[in-house]
Structures are given as C-alpha cells and as structure tokens.
Amino acid sequence: MSDDLVRVAVDEERCIGGGQCEMLEPEVFLLDEDEVISSVIGSGELPRPRADVVVHRCPGAAISIVEPQRPSE
Amino acid sequence: MSASAASTPTLAPEIADPRLYLDSIPHERFAQIRAMPGLAWHPYGDNGFWAVTRHADVRAVSRNPKVFSSAIGHTNLWDLEADALEARRSLIDTDAPDHTRLRRMVAGAFTPKNIRRWEDAVREITVELLDEFMNQGGGDWVDMVAAPLPIRVILSMLGVPVADADYLVELSNYLVEGTSDSQSLPPDAFGNTTELRLLPFNSPASHALFEYGDEMRSKRRAEPCDDLVTHLVKAEAEGGRISRHEYRHLFHLLVFAGNETTRTAISHGAMALAANGDQWQRVLDDPGLIEPATEEIIRWATPVLHMRRTAATDCELAGTQIAAGDKVVMWYAAANRDEAAYADPFRFDVGRGDNEHFAFGGGGPHLCLGAFLARLEVSVLLEEMAARRMSLEQRGEPVRVASNFVHGVLSVDMAPGGNP
C-alpha cells in the first residue's frame, strides 16, 4: 500500500531554486538552468513515502502530491 | 511581547551573553529551555525574544515566513533603526517576493548539478592543503586547512584572484568580530566614513568589502568573464533585475558566508574526528559513510547558532501567544541537539540516518544558498583524508570566538596521526 505511486507537482511561484528536490530525487526533478525553477521531468511519479520526504524538505513549500484523479461525476 | 499578555511566560535562562559561548555552546541551558512548556521568554536589551529551541518549533517558524518575517525587523537579536535596517538589508533580510527574485539571481550557481562541476577544483585545493599540512607535521588546522579551503573555492566562483584571498579572509575575520563583544578596528579603518550602525556587523570591514566588490564590478563590466560577479553585473545591466545596493550586499554575503561557515564546519569536524577515533575508523572502513559523515559533521558544527524572525501578526506557537512585532529566535544550535528529533543527539555518529539537521536553516525559504557547496567541500576533504589513511590528533584546546551568533573557531592545533 505504502509503495503506491503518486504524482508530484511544483508550484513555480513558490519555488526558490533551493535544489533539495533535485538532490533527493534527481530522476524526477530538474532545476531549469536559466530561471532556476524546479520542474517535474518524466512521469513525475514517486512511491508515496519518498514523495512525502520531498514535500517535507522543500524549503519553499512548492511541491505537492497530486492525488489520483477521480472520474468526474 | 505585548503588555496585555494573558499570563506571565516562562523565563529562559541567559543564553544571549556571548561569554557563555567561549568554551562551548551552553547546551545544558538549551536543554532546560527545550523542556519548558510552550516557548520561553528571554529578556534582552529593552525588551526580549521568544527562544525557539525545539526541532519541530524551529521548523514551524522557518517555514512560515508570512507570519515570521525576515524583513520587518533585523535578523540578529538586536534592533536596528529603520534607516540602518534599510542600509544593511541583504538577501537574508528579505521576504518574498524580493527574496525569491534575489535568490533566483544567484541560485543557479549553487544547484546540486552546477556545484558538482566544482568537484575537481575543490579536490585540487584540498590535496594541496592536506599535503602541506602533512609535510609540516600539522599545525593550526584553521589556518592551514579549514579557512583556506572554502575561501579559495568561493573566490574562484566569484572570479576573485587568488592573490587577494588573504585580504578577504582578513576582512571576513573582522566581520566575525563584529558579532562578538570585541571590535579591534577603529571606525575609520580601511578609509571608512560611513556610520558603523549603517554597516553589516557594525564593522568598517564591511566598507572595505563593499569597495572591493565595486572594484570587481567595474572590472567585469569592462571585461566580462565566466564567473558569478559577471553574472550579477549582467543582471544589473539588463533592465535592473538587481539594484546596485543588492549587488553590493550579495557580494558581501557570498564572501562572508562562503568563507566563515564552512570553515567552522571543517574546524569542528576535525575536532570531532580527533575525539571520536572509532567513528573515523568506520569511515575509513566504509566509504559509503562519507555522505552521512558529512551531514553529521555539519549538524555537529552548526556554524550559525541562530537566526531571528519578527512576528508580522499575532499568532500562536507551541501553545504560546505571540504578539505582532515580537522577536522570535530560532536556535539551530538547540534544535540540532533535540532529543525528540535525534536518537542520542550528543553522540557524534557518522552513520546517522535521516539526519534532517538545521545547520543550513530551519527548513524554510532562507535555506543556506551554499548548502551543496559546503557538503561538497566537507565530503571531498573526508575522501582525501581517507585516501591518505590519515587521522587527526588534537594538540591542546581550540581558541574559540565569543559569539552567540557564529560557532567560530579561530585556531586549533592538529597533528596528522598514523596510518591505521
């Protein structure tokens, strides 16, 4: 259950380019060279415990977990 | 603290007196404060501050910059008059959106990927310093290794000639003095004519550092290079993305912070390795421990002991009511020894897992810009020491800085030990 994959997203307004996400999960986050803003590369999927750590450690509180989409009613 | 505070707060034992820090951080007093209910109030000057000492509470303050502002008051314990606050304002004393804009201006040079590009340069300098240290049979570790390593790296990044390194180390040392009770410089040193209260650290050395930065700026304007000063000069020229004032203060901050803090980590790290031979032996036996050992050294050293915030609104923390305008001081030195956050926090453990220490700040947006550079410098040093099977023996007590703000070491005599 805890190995469920979740998707992560970056709020560009809040990103300070601190690089914690790129340090922790270099396969998922990349800091843009010019703007120094983090963005998600690839599918942006991580096991939930690892996603929680990145969210916890982001100094700008810019990373969030995107809950799996529910079918619209 | 508002006069209408509902109840009398618990009073913290004295922790602001710089003399308390001469032998070591007053850890027993911090442990006492951590154990007090809510937040303890610490009288200081005409008023006082809330002493935030628990790991979780430091994090809560650091990560809530809208409530706990870096801009509306000074980030050191004492207050500044409004004009001095403006005159001295650097990246450290800003909130979003100014902080985000300024930070992004320089953050690109300090990302994990871009810092890794400096690994060879860091190694080259480290090898040279360690070889000299071993050839001399040891000596003052601060002077021979801990101080020159970070300053030479940050100056290379900025584009400052190596020949000027000693001068900038000297200026940086005078700035540290400004955080203690003893200032040895006359107010007009280095041709300074600015009132000291308008200068960072109240020090005429700040004037000299500004002047040096201005000189660099002129040189790079005339002849751009591939360095950080050129990058900032371009940002200033291109539509004023950075002001003249901001440039001067960024240059000042990069020189000071890039020099003083990692020097402290490397000094305390060497003493910890000398005192805990078993821990160094673990690293020698298992190179996989270089990374956690680096984090542990940085936690152990906690080069910056605290930062202050000022409450922008009435709020509550740890069950304590805080009034708008109150000073709220995050004691990283205390949080990094919090029993609730670390198993056996007073044990130096190179294998410590999940080491979310607050030596680079409390987890919020003012996260140390040079965190990855500091990690690189410490880890390359450990790698090169391990490659030489080199251990350290401390000869005598260190000379420490009497400061409640930086955990500085002025000198410590070390000898290279045998090859285990």
The predicted structure's pLDDT at residue A73:
42
Tens digit of each residue's pLDDT (9 = 90 or more) over B43-81: 999 899 999 999 999 999 999 999 999 999 999 999 999
User: B169: which 2 tokens?
Assistant: 């180390």
Chain B residues whose beta carbon lies within 8 Å of the beta carbon of residue A26: 112
Q: How far apart are CA B128 and CA B73, in angstroms?
A: 43
- Give Cβ neighbours of residue B56 (< 8 Å, ≥ 6 apart): B340, B341
Q: Which of B63, B112, B363 sits opposite A22 (nearest CB)?
A: B112
How far, CA to CA in Å, does B51 sit from each of B35, B153, B312, B320, B321?
A: 12, 35, 17, 11, 13
Q: How far apart are CA B311 and CA B145, in angstroms?
A: 40
The predicted structure's pLDDT at residue B420:
46
Residue B33 pairs in a beta bridge with none
Which residue ranges form the domains of chain A, and what is each CATH number? 5-66 (3.30.70.20)
Give kind and range of the element (H or E) at residue B228: helix B228-237
The answer, for A41 touching chain B at a CB cutoff of 8 Å, is: no
Q: Which of A19, A22, A59 sits opposite B364 (nearest CB)?
A: A59
Q: B100 and A26 in contact by Cβ < 8 A?
A: no
How far, CA to CA in Å, does B111 sit from each of A31, B103, B413?
A: 8, 12, 34
Q: Which of B113, B365, B372 sits opposite A60 (nearest CB)?
A: B365
108-167 of B, contacting A, C-beta below 8 A: 108, 110-113
Tell me the three state secondary structure of residue B366. coil
Give kind and range of the element (H or E) at residue B377: helix B371-387
Sheet with B139-140, side-by-side order of all strands:
B139-140, B413-416, B392-394
String of DSSP letters for B259-275 = HHHHHHHHHHHHHHHHH
Q: B365 and A22 in contact by Cβ < 8 A?
A: no
Give kind and range of the element (H or E) at residue B381: helix B371-387
Instruction: Give the A:B interface size as CB pairs under 8 Å.
Output: 53
Residue B306 pairs in a beta bridge with B331
The predicted structure's pLDDT at residue B162:
84
Side-chain half-sphere exposure of B114, counting CA atoms within 13 A: 21
Tens digit of each residue's pLDDT (9 = 90 or more) over B73-103: 999 999 999 999 999 999 999 999 999 988 9
User: A65: which 2 tokens?
Assistant: 């977990």
CA distance A70 to chain B (A): 31
The answer, for B225 touching chain A at a CB cutoff of 8 Å, is: no
String of DSSP letters for B295-359 = HHHHHHH-SB-EEEEEESS-EEETTEEE-TT-EEEEEHHHHTT-TTTSSSTTS--TT--S----B
CA distance A67 to chain B (A): 23
Architecture of domain B18-416: Orthogonal Bundle (1.10)
Q: Decide if B212 contacts B163 (C-beta within 8 A).
A: no
The answer, for B68 touching chain A at a CB cutoff of 8 Å, is: no
Handedness of CA A47, A52, A55, A56 (dihedral sign): negative
Q: How far apart are CA B418 and CA B213, in angstroms?
A: 44
Q: A57 and B363 in contact by Cβ < 8 A?
A: yes
- For chain B, counts of helices (H) and of strands (E): 16, 12
Side-chain half-sphere exposure of B398, counting CA atoms within 13 A: 28
Q: Per-residue pLDDT for chain B (420 aa), expressed as one digit of tens each?
A: 544 445 678 999 999 999 999 999 999 999 999 999 999 999 999 899 999 999 999 999 999 999 999 999 999 999 999 999 999 999 999 999 999 988 988 898 999 999 999 999 999 999 999 999 999 999 999 999 999 999 999 999 999 998 998 899 899 888 877 766 667 899 999 999 999 999 999 999 999 999 999 999 999 999 999 999 998 888 887 767 888 899 999 999 999 998 889 999 999 999 999 999 999 999 999 999 999 999 999 999 999 999 999 999 999 999 999 999 999 999 999 999 999 999 999 999 999 988 999 999 999 999 999 999 999 999 999 999 999 999 999 999 999 988 999 999 999 999 998 654
CA distance B368 to chain A (A): 8
String of DSSP letters for B132-192 = HHHHTT-EEHIIIIITHHHHHHHHHHHT--GGGHHHHHHHHHHHHHTTBS---S-TTGGG-
Instruction: Tell me: cis bond preceding B150? Omega within 30 of 0 counts.
Output: no
Tell me the three state secondary structure of residue B38. coil
The answer, for A23 touching chain B at a CB cutoff of 8 Å, is: yes
Q: A19 and B100 in contact by Cβ < 8 A?
A: no
Tens digit of each residue's pLDDT (9 = 90 or more) over B97-134: 999 988 988 898 999 999 999 999 999 999 999 999 99
Which amino acid makes up residue B145?
A: V
Which amino acid makes up residue A30?
A: L
The answer, for A39 touching chain B at a CB cutoff of 8 Å, is: no
* Per-position b or e across A50-69, b if 16+ CB within 10 A of its CB: bbebbbebbbbbbbeeeeee
Q: Percent of chain B scored above 70 by pLDDT?
A: 96
Q: Decide if B208 contacts B192 (C-beta within 8 A).
A: yes
Q: Which residue of B has its CA nearest to A60?
A: B365
Which of A10, A14, A15, A16 is most worth mutating to test chain B (most B CB atoms within 10 A of its CB)? A16
Q: How far apart are CA B262 and CA B115, in angstroms?
A: 15
Which amino acid makes up residue B360?
A: F
